[in-house]
Amino acid sequence: MSQKPKPKPSHGLAACPGCAEPLDSGDRFCGACGYDLSAVPAAETEPDRPTVAIVTPVVWPAAPPREAGSLSTATQHPGDLPGTDSGGRDLPTMAVRTDGPVPAPPGTDTPPSGTPASGGDFELAAPDPRTAVQVDPPGSPQPTPPAQPAPPAHPPQPAQPPAAAPDAAALCVACRAGRVDTDGYCENCGHAQPRERDHMEQELGSVAAVSDRGLRHHRNEDAFAVSATTLPDGSPAALAIVCDGVSSATRPDEASAAAAQAAGASLLAALPRGIHPQQAMHEAIVAAAEAVNSLAEDPGPDGAEHDPHRNSPACTIVGSVVADGLLVVGWVGDSRVYWVPDDRTTPAARLTEDDSWAAQMVAAGLMNEAEAYADERAHAITGWLGADAYELDPHTAAFKPDRSGVVVVCTDGLWNYAEGAEDMARAVPPDAAGRPLGAAQVLVGHALDGGGHDNITVALLPFTVTPPGAGSA
């Protein structure tokens, strides 16, 4: 085991090299900053250096000129820059060749060992591998390994053995010191590390989406897919799929991801073939349901699930396609689509009906909407994608708005804070059609400011009307 060097009885310094605090001759550590004075060379052997303030600009030497066809001269190496080590000594410099490898003496296969590099304190047994790359022709004899370089004459002595630096990729984002364990928590401070899905953003052409974990959930169980394509006649088409994992089910994050990916891929395959967008949306929801069903565990020998107390992976789905003057929506569950016209003097509209207990109570005339959504059973869904779902019944609808606007596709993590169509219209920025990604970020921020009790996902698709008077949404 390495040991710390013994401290000298007197450092001979009047002030701390680290913070300029006055020192006594017998001090071993600085009382202000804790600087280890045993690592500082004696004053009589160390020349005095002026103190450079942090705010003083440093004039770095210019990089060597780059020669035509050369890559090595474009690099500036650490040895080219002046500096000091942790003990205050000048760093040894090393000459760097930029004209290729050092030629070996005649009759030898390896460079001479122990040849000092010009202008430096290190002895190099081979050309600097950073700048000299030599490839032997096929069949040539392999050279013997070169001798190890000799150590510097006066290597700096640290006060204590330096700890191995953690891998930067595995450092904790909170304490910046501990390693992140395989469970996603810091071994030093215990802080949970952000996952890749905690916050996602994507913009593709005129469609954009943002998804956020929110402030209360430990993971993001939402997923989305946005894309753009063309119809057979060359006209553009944009699509957005948003899925919300059912938290009471097994692996809801996997279910939402599988459904969004399958539905998006199905639409991208169907629309360019000329399939009607509404039919393509129906097929996309069926494909998403099959993808989620495939995640269910195989039944055991007795025909039952491995764990009867755990539901199969499940999620809701909602999507929209804007193509050829049509606004098509499709859904299963309680995620929604809103229509917000650019002209805010005209009314906004909700284009989907929830598959939920509250919606069923309202549809049956047993409660009004305010009473139903105030009930604790309001958000219990009656339709979802999953192996244990009831008979799949995808809902689709097509609209032809007579004016330009923006389509809002979202999970209940957003519409819980802007439930009515007019509430959503007030939350959507006026320039949402021109900058959908920025508007989606604003909407996610609106939900976070409201409490962020659930995962939040929203996708925006601008809808532009070219011919006037095409009907009403």
**pLDDT tens digits along 35-90:** 777 665 544 434 443 333 333 333 444 444 544 443 333 333 333 334 444 444 55
Q: 114: which 2 tokens?
A: 């122990």
In three-state secondary structure terms, 444 is: helix
Amino acid at 60: W
Distance CA 333, CA 393 (A): 10
Tokens at 79, concatenated: 């040895």
Element (H, E) at 450: helix 436-450
Q: Regarding predicted confidence, which is higher, 17 or 74? A: 17
Q: Are 321 and 237 in contact (CB under 8 A)?
A: yes
**pLDDT > 60? residue 303:** no
Is residue 318 very low, low, confident or very high in pLDDT (cuts 50, 70, 90)? Answer: very high
Mean pLDDT of the chain: 75
> What are 50's strand-pairing partners?
none
Alpha-carbon gap, residue 44 to 32, rounded angstroms: 24
| Closest by CA position to 428, among listed 408, 450, 410, 455 | 408
- On whether the CB atoms of residues 381 and 356 are closer than 8 A, the answer is yes
CB distance 388 to 319 below 8 Å: no
Start-to-end CA span in the chain (Å): 78
High-pLDDT (> 90) share of the chain, %:
47
Other beta carbons within 10 angstroms of residue 350's beta carbon come to 16
**pLDDT for residue 317:** 98
CA separation (Å) from 215 to 185, 390, 447?
A: 18, 32, 10
Q: What is the DSSP letter of 357?
A: H
Q: What is the pLDDT of residues 168-225, one digit of tens each?
A: 557 776 677 888 888 778 888 887 777 788 999 999 988 999 999 999 888 999 999 9
d(CA 300, CA 80): 68
- Give the span between the Cα atoms of 47 and 41, in whole angstroms: 10
> DSSP string covering 245-299, please?
E-TTBSSHHHHHHHHHHHHHHHHHHHGGGT--HHHHHHHHHHHHHHHHHTTSPPP
Q: Tens digit of pLDDT for each residue in 238-284?
A: 999 999 999 999 999 999 999 999 999 999 999 999 999 999 999 99
Q: Give pLDDT, residue 71.
A: 36
Six-digit token pair at 342? 């650019």
